[in-house]
Amino acid sequence: MKHASNGRAVTRRQAIKRMSALGAGAAAVTAGGPRAFAQPKAPITLSFWTFDNPQQRPWIHKRVNQYMEKNPNVKVDFQWFTFADLGKKVSVGYATGTAPDGFVTGDWLMPTWLARNLIAPLDVKLLGYSSLDAFRKDHADAFVAGAMKDGQAYGYPLWFYGFCNYLNTKQFKEVGLDPVKDQPKTWTELGEVAKRLTIKQGNKFTRQGFKFAMHAAQWTMIQFNPIVSQVGGQWFDASGRCTINNEAGVKAMTIRASLARQYGAEDPADSIATFPLPQMDWLKERCAMFSCHPIPPAAIKSQNPVMESEGYFLPVQMAGVTPDKRYTTCYGFNLVVNARVPKAKQEALHDMYRFVMSDLVDCWEATAPFTLARKSGWTDDPRVKSFPHVQEIIKAKDNGVFFPRTPIWAELADAMHRAVQKVMLNNADIKTALDEAAAEVDRATAEFKKS
């Protein structure tokens, strides 16, 4: 960022800024469309935090740097932390007055921030939309429902995606199955196909037919949530009591456990998944099918270069209780603004966010196949359309269901994670495990209500 010592140069730059601000007006935000950046004149420093991801973080960083080049009076302190640590840093930051001005948050945490009034409502006009309605229509419905409260939008969505069933097509063909035609559509089919794909030596699995990742509570929720929805279950009833232990919940958990218990196609204790690479078992071809978010080619290449270069994998829709209910959980990340910072900084952040989000095809090129929440500005581009299997991935995003929106998200996820562990690893009775989980969630709800 340059501070010109030559007075004339500064004046010229300011003049150009004023002219473009006058000439542009509120522009529609489309790729290649005219851009208007209402530029704050005084020097301004912003702090912005995000989580680390090999594709996503460098792209945001690049866009922020580009923004700083275009707006020399703005200095952004860009910091990133691990996925798990970002939430803690932000919380401690709020507690001690050192929270960032803007940050990226997972949408499952929106209720947590909103319940405590920590994020500011967004002025969608500064983001380039003519009205709140235009904003709402441009984004996937349920995602917006999570980002909006009392008629205001609180998050500007970035990435948003669902899970797919990633098949190892080479292994399918080995046992005489066609990955496209024989892809499992129902849970029963999934169990049977998985059974055919399983190879065992004694009590050791050489290849598991299908695997659910069990390394983190977040993933447990992502995987279990759609099953609950598919069987018509509910996380909470109208009074806020947890109903995961009702008949539908038990049915959902039975389905979840069926791969191991009923079909013998999965060994929950045998996994080499790690936090950065939960799909390790699938990448190392220790399982033939795996439920996962969109996997970037670079991730596949890092652990299995042959699979990447020969392309013997295929994402398909996850199984459903019936073939028309093959949906998964959708979740994503929002750009938010700290409610406790002054107006001037908030406006500057809006401006920066608008710029960052103004070239989504560039985003796709850098971070594919992570899909974006916004509908406009990228899906029709040939560079997007030509990406392998992109239609399945977009379909998973469009059809997905959302997490239960609750301020006790962390307690809920941990309770379910424990329940799944008890069922899958300790062979616990499903109803008992769910009863315990529901009790834990109810306790947490009661605690939260008191605070």
Partner 1 sequence: MRRRAAVSAALAWTGLLPLAVLTFLFMLPIVWMTTTSFQAGEKMFQLTTEWIPSVWHPENYPNALSRSAFPRFFLNSAIVSASVMLGNLIFCTLAGYGLAKYRFRGDRLLLLVILSTLMLPLEVTLVPTFLVIHTLGWVDSYQGLAGPLLIDAFGVFLMRQFMLKIPSDYVEAARIDGAGELRILWSIIIPQCRAALAVLALFSFRDSWDQFLWPLVVVSRDEFRTYPLGLVRFGDDYGNPPTEQMAIAVLATIPIFLLFLLLQRALRKGFDLSALKG
Partner 2 sequence: MISYRWRIRLWGMAFVAPTIAYFLVFKYGPMLWAMGLSFTSYDMMKPPRWVGLENYASIVRDPIFRAALLNTLVYIAGSTVFITLMALGLALAINTRGRGRRVCMSGMFLTNIMPILAVCLVWRFLFHPHGLVNQLLRPLGFGRIDWLTDSTLAMPAIILVTVWRFAPYFMVVFLAGLLAIPPEYYEAAEIDGADVLRRFRHLTLPLLMPVTFFVVVVAALLSARIFLMPYIITGGGPGNATRVLSMLIYETGFSYMKMGRAAAISVVLFAIVMVLTVVQMKLFTRGEEDYA
Binding flag, residue 426, partner 2 (CB under 8 A): yes
Interface of this chain with partner 1, residues 49 to 68, rule: CB under 8 A: 49, 52-55
Identify what 112 binds: partner 1, partner 2, none; CB under 5 to 8 Å per kind.
partner 2
According to the binding rule CB under 8 A, does residue 240 interact with partner 1? no
Could you give the 3-state DSSP secondary structure of residue 216? coil
Q: Distance (Å, rounded) from C-alpha 413 to C-alpha 327?
A: 20
Contact predicate 316/292, CB 8 Å: no
Taking CB under 8 A as the criterion, the residue among 274, 322, 391, 432 binding partner 2 is 274
Which of the ranges 293-301, 330-338, 391-399, 439-447 carries the binding residues for partner 2, by CB under 8 A? Answer: 439-447
Total residues found in the chain within this entry: 451
> 56 vs 445, which CB is nearer to partner 2?
445
In the complex with partner 2, the residue whose CB is nearer, 127 or 336, is 336
How far from 42 is each of 64, 332, 384, CA to CA, in Å? 18, 34, 39
**Residue span 383-422 as binding mask against partner 2, x where in contact by CB under 8 A, dash where not:** -------------------------x-xx--x--xx--xx
Q: At what angle do helices 343-356 and 56-70 cross, to 10 degrees?
A: 120
Are the beta carbons of 242 and 445 closer than 8 angstroms? yes
Cα-Cα-Cα-Cα torsion 395, 401, 407, 412, nearest 10 degrees, comes to -110
Residue placing its CB nearer to partner 2 in the complex, 4 or 84: 84
Please report whether residue 444 would count as binding partner 2 according to CB under 8 A: yes
302 binds partner 2 (CB under 8 A): no
Q: Shortest Cβ distance from residue 35 to partner 2 (Å)?
A: 36
What's the CA gap between 398 and 162, in Å, rounded? 8
**Shortest Å distance, C-beta 368 to partner 2:** 29
Binning the chain into helix, strand and coil, the percentages to the nearest 5 are 45, 15, 35
Burial class (CB in 10 A: 0-12, 13-18, 19+), 30: middle
Q: If you compute the radius of gyration of the chain from its CA atoms, what whole number of angstroms results?
A: 24
What part of residues 351-390 is at the interface with partner 2 (CB under 8 A)?
none
Nearer to partner 2, 131 or 274 (CB): 274
Residue 43 vs residues 2, 38, 48, 144, 368: alpha-carbon distances, Å: 11, 14, 16, 33, 35
Ramachandran angles phi, psi of 292, nearest 5°: -155, 160
Residue 201 interacting with partner 2 (CB under 8 A): no
**Does the protein bind partner 2 through residue 266 (CB under 8 A)?**
no
When asked if residue 274 is in the footprint of partner 1 (CB under 8 A), the reply is yes
Classify 127 as helix, strand or coil: coil
Beta bridge partners of 78: 48
277-316: which residues touch partner 1 (CB under 8 A)? 277, 280, 284, 298-299, 302-305
Please report which residue ranges of 198-342 form alpha helices under DSSP H. 217-230, 247-261, 280-283, 297-303, 305-310
Distance of CA 217 to the CA centre of its chain: 14
* Closest distance of CB 303 from partner 1, Å: 5
Q: Is 188 in the site for partner 2 (CB under 8 A)?
A: no
Pick 248 or 299: Cβ nearer partner 1: 299
Least distance between partner 2 and beta carbon 440 (Å): 7
Is 88 one of the binding residues for partner 1 (CB under 8 A)? yes
CB-based contacts of 149, cutoff 8 Å, min separation 6: 114
Contact partner at residue 33 from partner 1, partner 2, none, CB < 5 to 8 Å by partner kind = none
Residue 269 is a binding residue for partner 1 (CB under 8 A): no
Query: Near partner 2 by CB under 8 A, which window of 28-36, 85-93, 171-179, 315-323?
Result: 85-93
How far apart CA 229 and CA 70 sit, in angstroms, is: 46
Contact residues toward partner 1 (CB under 8 A) are 49, 52-55, 77, 79-85, 88-89, 92, 95-98, 272, 274-277, 280, 284, 298-299, 302-305
Contact residues toward partner 2 (CB under 8 A) are 88, 91-92, 94-95, 112, 116, 118, 203-204, 267-270, 272, 274, 408, 410-411, 414, 417-418, 421-422, 425-426, 428, 436, 440, 443-444, 447, 450-451
